[in-house]
A and B are shown apart, each in its own frame.
Chain A
């Protein structure tokens, strides 16, 4: 049975309230950090824990913190990225909604480590009710001396502000987020300089995901080395996965990263198998931006080894036969789903969310959407498939921010693994509108063993 570090107490009655949270051991990490550790020692624990950013890129958090420039006399900022707009990802919402004090606690400790006296939560506008929950938690923390001036008599000052976004996915990209937080149009900045040197109001800034910051609490409570013992390899600790799609039990699960993908989908502890007794066709394991995998490559790597729910195993095989852990948005497609339509839906999303600064992303996303819609409606041409491939290739890597890549990868992966389904949409145009291609003959490993 996997250990839970973040959501263990999430369902204790009234855990949202300060009293219950405190009674259950909340804010211990703040006491420990502020009273017994130096800021650098906190960073050191985070380094030892092996914690990797949970926002998508998986960058080691301790290392990120140690890159923060610390010029004399200039404030530094911690910004928590709660923009969570990636299709398929809804884990931060769960955490903030059910156990908001965990985030606040993690933020106080992290702010202490980074020397941030004013820290921010940038939250997506659609999470309006969570804003109230967070504001309430912040107020309670302040009333009880965990925020404000001279916290616990240690001389450390810290306040937390919540800022709502206005409904743009691109504002989850850290530099666009900073622009938006400054009150400007949310266009990603050109890097370098990186936020660690010039971020919010041109001051050194760390942007971390909600889950990353929450994980600092158990790291400080238990020690970085203890935390690192959970999991495997460079995938330490626990990870929140938001599972959705054709599953018996979609939802948010906290896993330790040693379980296999097959266990995660089929065991009753997690997703409980594919809904309605259907078969698994494909899955996007890490949020809409990462490559889709057909069932055979999802459950086993190209080398025939079991694939596990962790950073290394999910990316085994590179983009040719693997995918990514991403932000942990696990989207499952059963045999009745159409990959072309699905890819179109994603392309439409990226087109709508492109900020429009760089020409490849601005123009390319729209073009791909139109081609995919045409293919989906059975009006496409065989050459459209190659054209799509060429467009995504010309977007990828040539843009300011990774949204361009995020728009290109799903299209590339869909064509790479499901080309026959795309071709079928061209050759069987009339059928394509009314019915579904179904399961790729090669894609169901369970069928082969049945």
Chain B
């Protein structure tokens, strides 16, 4: 065909792909998949204008293009840099990139409360994944962390600003999926905060999607708060005939109980697209349809992320053999720990998000 679009060749970590002009390095890397794909904490392909901020996706461009082979002097944000024909990119094969990424990870964790034990996002948190892969075991930060009061935005969403990494994704949701702009960023620098303008409640059919785009546990579903750990719930794909949205969701169940409803996510943690359109879901589907009878069940949801969720169950999962009774020689398993001590430690009065630095034993024993 004469009008066939010319494709650009780009080589990322020695693997070559052909992509349409205008594709970003990150999206090209996603076509390859696997380890050569840089992590992305702020970019969200379905939100226009997102990306460029967190700097976790920095890569080295060792050859600009066939025409102009000069390398780029600085690392570039792969999510906002478009490929050129013949471009060569180094991601995990570049020490500079890995060093910078470790730095970014440390920066992102600097003011983060590390309250994963009580955070609803744990298990599906991109910051956990990032720290696991690029973080160091300890912190070099010895000062108090910034804290904020928890804030309710609307009846369904809680903002836990202390955990926010200021990726701005939720503000784009507010901007692009809803028709009133009441959500934004106040102040600047490390004292900046996400806010609805003067705590105005976000009341809009699609506001719940900001929970799905939030990479951390800063925006959580109040109808699911503290109900369960995500890895104990069973995700199933389901749909309903919804007049407002696509109605295609993931239900997170325990037994017959629907604990949570979310949009379906792809392997990059973004909402799935259907016929090229993002499958955002409405608040009715998300917050009000908590009965299995509301839904047509399609089957177990595909969770291919390497997070702890997939460590638990899912399709083709082979249930490991139950070994305890054997090990115990037929006797009932006995508790191996003095549970009372543990529950002492598990003091509900201690708000882990409010303490300075990581928690230690002393945090809990203080009376």
Contact = CB atoms under 8 A, between A and B. Distances in A.
A and B interact physically: yes
Contacts of A430: none
A117 B96 CA distance: 46
A399 B52 CA distance: 9
A358 B189 contact: no
Contacts of A353: 188-189
Given A394-B103, A394-B107, A359 B53 contact: yes
Given A190-B77, A367-B110, A362 B58 contact: no
Contact of A359 (B55, B140, B184, B185): B55
A198 interface: no
A39 interface: no
Interface in A391-412: 394, 397-400
A356 interface: yes
B301 to A, nearest CB: 31
B103 A398 contact: yes
A356 B104 contact: no
Given A370-B143, A398-B100, A358 B192 contact: no
Contacts of B54: 358-359
Given A394-B100, A398-B75, A398-B103, A356 B192 contact: yes
Given A168-B188, A362-B189, A397-B74, A190 B104 contact: no
Contacts of B80: 190
Nearest to B110: A363
A355 B111 contact: no
Contacts of B190: 351, 354, 356, 362-363, 365-366
Interface in B154-192: 165-166, 168, 184-185, 187-192
A387 interface: yes
A374 B44 CA distance: 39
B108 interface: yes
Given A359-B104, A394-B107, A366 B55 contact: no
B52 A398 contact: no
A366 B142 CA distance: 12
B232 interface: no
| Chain B CB within 10 Å, residue with most, of A170, A359, A360 | A359
**Chain A interface secondary structure, helix, strand, loop or mixed?**
helix
Interface string A157-180: 000000000001010000000000
Interface string B53-81: 11110100000000000000011010010
A359 B107 contact: yes
A394 B52 CA distance: 16
A406 to B, nearest CB: 14
B192 A400 contact: no
Interface string A351-389: 111111111101111110010000000000000000100
Nearest to A184: B184
B100 A185 contact: no
A363 B111 contact: yes
A353 B168 CA distance: 19
A181 to B, nearest CB: 17
Contacts of B185: 185, 356
B141 interface: yes
Nearest to B56: A359
B55 A362 contact: no
Interface string B257-271: 000000000000000
Given A360-B107, A363-B110, A190 B52 contact: yes
A356 B166 contact: yes
Contact of A355 (B55, B58, B100, B189): B189
B184 A185 contact: yes
A360 B141 contact: no
Given A363-B108, A363-B110, A387 B140 contact: yes
A357 B140 CA distance: 22
Given A190-B77, A360-B55, A355 B107 contact: no
A353 B55 CA distance: 19
B127 to A, nearest CB: 11
A357 B166 contact: yes
Interface size class of B (residues with CB under 8 A): 20 to 34
Contacts of A354: 188-190
Given A387-B140, A400-B52, A364 B192 contact: no
Contacts of B104: 359-360, 394, 398
B166 A362 contact: yes
| Chain A CB within 10 Å, residue with most, of B55, B140, B184 | B55
B141 A358 contact: no
A95 to B, nearest CB: 29
A168 B80 CA distance: 26
A364 B74 CA distance: 18
Contacts of B187: 356
A352 B100 contact: no
Contacts of B192: 355-356, 362
A223 to B, nearest CB: 36
A365 to B, nearest CB: 7
Contacts of A168: 188
A354 B189 CA distance: 5
A302 to B, nearest CB: 23
Contacts of A387: 140
A352 B77 contact: no
Interface string B107-128: 1101100000000000000000
Nearest to B41: A359
A359 B108 contact: yes
Interface in A191-245: none
A87 B187 CA distance: 21
Interface string B88-112: 0000000000011001101110110
Contacts of B77: 190, 400
A170 B141 contact: no
Interface string A332-347: 0000000000000000
Contacts of B189: 351-356, 362, 365-366
A365 B190 CA distance: 8
B367 to A, nearest CB: 30
Contacts of B191: 356
B113 to A, nearest CB: 14
Nearest to B82: A192
8 contacts: A170-B188, A190-B80, A354-B189, A357-B52, A359-B53, A366-B111, A367-B143, A400-B53
Interface of A: 168, 170, 185, 190, 351-360, 362-367, 370, 387, 394, 397-400
Given A356-B185, A358-B53, 19 more contacts: A185-B184, A185-B185, A190-B51, A355-B189, A355-B192, A357-B53, A357-B166, A359-B54, A359-B55, A362-B166, A363-B107, A366-B110, A366-B189, A366-B190, A367-B110, A370-B143, A398-B55, A398-B104, A400-B53
9 A-B pairs closest in CB distance: A394-B103, A356-B192, A363-B107, A354-B189, A190-B52, A366-B190, A363-B110, A356-B189, A359-B107
